[in-house]
Structure 1
Amino acid sequence: MSATFLGIDVGSTRTKAVVLASGGSDALAAAAAATPQGEADGVPVHVPGAVRDAVVDTARRALAETGPEARARLGGIAVTSVGEEAVLLDAGARPVGDVPTWFAGVGHAPAREHAEELDRRAPITGLRHPEYTVHTLGWWARTRPAQAQAAATLTDLGSWLLSTLGPGELVMDHSHASRTGLFDAPTRSWRAEALDVVGTGHLALPRLVPSGTVVGELGADAAAALGVAPGVPLVTGGHDHFCGALAAGARSPGDLYISAGTSEAHLLVTDSLDPAATADSEVGCFVTDGLYYLHAALPSGALYLTWTRLLGLDPAAPLDALLDAEPVGSRGVRGRLAADRRLSLEDVPVDVSPATLLRALMETTAVASRDLTRDLSRTAARPVALRLLAGTPVASPAWRELRSVLGEGAAAFVDAREATALGAAHLAARAVTGELPPPLPRRAPDPEVPAARREEYARAFGGTALP
């Protein structure tokens, strides 16, 4: 039996663990549990100790399912996590407090307050999103000053978890650093001056390493808890979106990964970043091969959940059944998604049916995705060679047709089950063997959309993707 690798994904709501054989694309075993979440003074938080307990238990169950031979051949462990959440640690590497979740919004006010000074004193390539770690540090300094002063350093949640599994150095990988607002991607260097701006200048930043770097080995206590031998290499993972993209097959410049969840993430892989062109874009280091990414998102899933409920429909019902064979163009109803997350609908008849409105919303998000993809392509000065689409909507033939026709670059659909945890396992395998495992298998191609139907799409929405 070939070596096996453990990938762990600490998500906002679920923690997943998968065990992968070095040459395989499907998991040998998997386990999942809720990611423990609490609340502190009205702020949703992740409690580091509770999260660690959940991680160890989930990983133990996944490993137990594989059997003794696979456990004996465990060759590496890597952890991926939500990218903007940072653990503040004291001089003894102990967390000084709970971690505000990335969606808590605590950094939005500091982001507005410090934006100009950050750009002046600590410029970086790309924009600083309000959810970036540096703004949360401003919140710590303002609302939790005693804990902030007790901290000596910080790292991302995944890297901290990895460091608790055995002897090893506290580090941060480049992809997580790219989501801090303290890091310049093209130079792969910290902009520590930003810490002074937000009131945490006493903090030391961890050593930077690429994703997929061996930084330690599994200790005896953690090994006993997992049911494996000590000494297994501990490998840096990466940001969860980017690990998912890696597992899905986004590995070359021009590959675009679209993860259709509540927030529809668009991730374009590229081999260079132009600081001038990307000034207003989310950019950073990808998880493999010295590549970069441009990132943007649409609220597609949130829009779908909101409107199915408003229309009295079941959001869990199959999309094709809800659409009820509505025609291309939604009988003239048109929608537009603005950058401020506002939706406008035009030419809506007073007797419009729920199916017509839902079809119009699906077409609206498909056009918005096409336009966003074009923006990313222009910014990167690189055409989209391949669109890899993943997420729950991939199961719908109607959704696949919309996204095949309305988009840039050839479309391929991926059943990305536990893709983020698999991406972490891929990084562990590459660190130890020097080779990436094959990506997740793609869905069999759908029948080609007839030319006449493509012409309907072109008349309604302009240029469409080539067959």
Structure 2
Amino acid sequence: MTTFLGIDVGTTRTKAVLLEPDGGTVLAAATAPTPQGEDGGTAVHSPTAIREVAVGVARRALADAGPGPRAGVGGIAVTSVGEEAVMLDAAGRPVGDVPTWFSGVGHAPAREHASELDRRAPVTGLRHPEYTVHVLAWWARSRPVAARAAATLTDLGSWLLSSLGPGDLVMDHSHASRTGLFDAPTRSWRPEALDVVGMGHLALPRLVPSGTVVGELGNAPAAALGVAPGIPLVTGGHDHFCGALAAGARSPGDLFVSAGTSEAHLLVTDSLDPAATAGSEVGCFVTDGLYYLHAALPSGSLYLTWTGLLGLDPSAALDDLIGGEPVGSRGVRGRISPDRRLTLDGVPLDVTPATLLRALMETTAVASREVTRDLSRAAGRAVAQRLLAGRPAESATWREIRAAIGEGAAAFVDAQESTALGAAHLAVRAVTGRLPPPALRRPGPELSPERRQEYVRALG
């Protein structure tokens, strides 16, 4: 039996899945919290601590699968959060911990350097404040000793992959698309941007497509995992994009919505018009020859914040927390501003937590619909199918709201750890030359015409 291992370093959890090459059979999975620390008030990830956890969850998944599947591993791929670059010295060692993508350290430099970056190193699409190039400016100013010691950088997943055995230090195109140093249509670096942010001494890594064999598992990591050395090491990609691949977003017009801490919206397209996409986050998808337009909503963050404010258990079943609240949330309406602030209107003095949570679910659904419309206009392409994944999809109420509010027919992805599964799919393709079929999905709930009209009257 040949099997394939996918590892995902996510914002809150690190996951591993072991997959049969048919793509539909997950033999084992394991998860653990992604370790997070703080450095001078900045939320950070420690590369070495994350490596320890990632190896641990992979070892558990392999052990749970049993000796046969463990002995048959034919490829390992790693995916990770997108904008967190590991700074490395000339010997390939991290020079410090990595500010998390949500730390906000790049927002001020983004405002300061925007015009100069566009003048000296223009790229197609928008440079988001969380992109790596802006975080590099923070390194240069706030951590100058470490910044001077750095010789190169790569994304967290690619660094982890390189630590598992002999091979090249690379960055895949989808992660490079989140740096602000990369032009997607030409698939090339714009290194001039490094001079703008005070890091002109850095060398940028070799660029490769997602799903490229770049090395083989070394002896010590193999012993730690309980497998044989020499297994091909395969580049993954940005975690949301790997999740989209596993879900079946593989053709132009496919929209993937990943509901997690950040609710990613990803529209797949086969071309990028620089004029039409100037205000959009764009880049290379994890399938060769395709691109994406991306936007995100702070849906999961808002949910965690508001359950905390209301004294509720965020891990409780959403349907139990919302109860029988009606469509329209008793007149409570919300909106999410571009700077990620939630405003609620029409809140009565006797409002209940259930009403507020229902209003939050409806608000994020309406915001998702508007984000989708913006992406569709920028891409010049209608949504062919809308695929939704994530823990909220376990809720019947959430599924109904999203089925009723959104562009195109909704389908909900039943995938165990879809981001790690997408990495495993890339490993399969790299070794066998074919991409496994997507994960199983189910259609949205059947809504009567009367029920749909309730949503239209309340929420447009």
TM-score, length basis structure 2? 0.95
Shift of 1:25: 1.9
**Uncovered stretches (5+) of structure 2, i.e. residues with no partner:** none
Structure 2 residue 18 is the aligned partner of structure 1 residue 19: yes
Cα displacement (A) at 1:415: 2.9
Question: Structure 1 segments of 4 or more deviating over 6 A?
Answer: none
Structure 1 equivalent of residue 327 of structure 2: 328
Compared with structure 1, are the counterparts of its residues 49 and 437 closer, same or farther at alpha carbon in structure 2 (3 Å cutoff)?
A: same
Could you tell me which residue of structure 2 aligns to residue 288 of structure 1?
287
The answer to whether the 8 Å contact 1:122/1:193 transfers is: yes
| Corresponding residue number in structure 2 for 1:80 | 79
Question: In structure 2, what is the equivalent of residue 177 of structure 1?
Answer: 176
Q: Structure 1: state its 5+ residue gaps.
A: 463-467
Structure 1 residue aligned with 2:454:
456
Q: Paired residue for 1:403?
A: 402
Partner of 1:43: 42
Matched ranges for 1:143-182 at <5 A: 143-182=142-181
* Residue number in structure 1 paired with 2:7: 8
Give, as a single letter, the amino acid of the residue that structure 2 aligns with 1:330.
S
**Contact 1:237-1:424 within 8 A present in 2 as well:** yes
Q: Equivalent residue for 2:391?
A: 392
Q: Does the 8 Å CA contact 1:78/1:425 hold for their aligned counterparts?
A: yes
Report the TM-score when normalising by structure 1: 0.94
The Cα of 1:125 is off from its aligned counterpart by: 0.8
Deviation at 1:309, TM superposition (A): 4.1
Aligned-partner Cα distance in 2 for 1:177–1:107:
17
CA shift at 1:42, angstroms? 2.8
Quote how far apart the aligned CAs of 1:67 are.
2.1
Offset at residue 387 of structure 1 (A): 0.8
Q: CA deviation at 1:371?
A: 1.2
Query: 3-state SS of the aligned residue for 2:137?
Result: helix
Work out the CA distance in 1 between the residues paired with 2:452 and 2:233.
50
Deviation at 1:295, TM superposition (A): 1.0
**Identity of counterpart residues, as a percentage?**
78
Partner of 1:439: 438
User: What is the RMSD computed on CA atoms of the aligned residues?
Assistant: 1.8
Q: Distance in 2 between matches of 1:325 and 1:38?
A: 40
**Offset at residue 445 of structure 1 (A):** 5.0
Question: Structure 1 residue 244: deviation in Å?
Answer: 1.1
User: What is the aligned length?
Assistant: 460
1:71 deviation in Å? Answer: 2.2
Q: Give the secondary-structure state (helix, strand or coil) at the position aligned to 2:282.
A: strand
Query: For the residues of structure 2 that align with 1:313 and 1:31, how far apart are their CA atoms?
Result: 27
Q: Residue 18 of structure 1 contacts residue 27 of structure 1 at CA under 8 Å; is this kept in 2? A: yes
Q: Deviations over 1:395-423 (max 9, x none)?
A: 22222111111110110011333111111
- Alpha-carbon offset, residue 53 of structure 1: 2.1
Cα distance in 1 for partners of 2:438, 2:330 equals 40
What per-residue deviation string (whole Å, max 9, x for no partner) do you get for residues 225-272 of structure 1?
A: 222122111110101111111112111111111111232211111111
Question: Does structure 2 conserve the Cα–Cα contact (< 8 Å) formed by 1:255 and 1:385?
Answer: yes
Tell me the amino acid that sits aligned with residue 68 of structure 2: E
Matched, 1:111 2:110: yes
Q: 8 Å contact 1:26–1:440 — kept in the other structure? A: no
Q: Could you say if the C-alpha distance between residues 342 and 31 of structure 1 is closer, same or farther in structure 2, counting changes exceeding 3 Å?
A: closer
Moved more, 78-87 or 223-232: 223-232
Secondary structure of the structure 1 residue equivalent to 2:136: helix
Contact (CA 8 Å) 2:400, 2:444: kept in 1 or not? no
1:33/1:342 CA distance change after superposition, 3 Å: closer
What is the aligned partner in structure 2 of residue 427 from structure 1?
A: 426
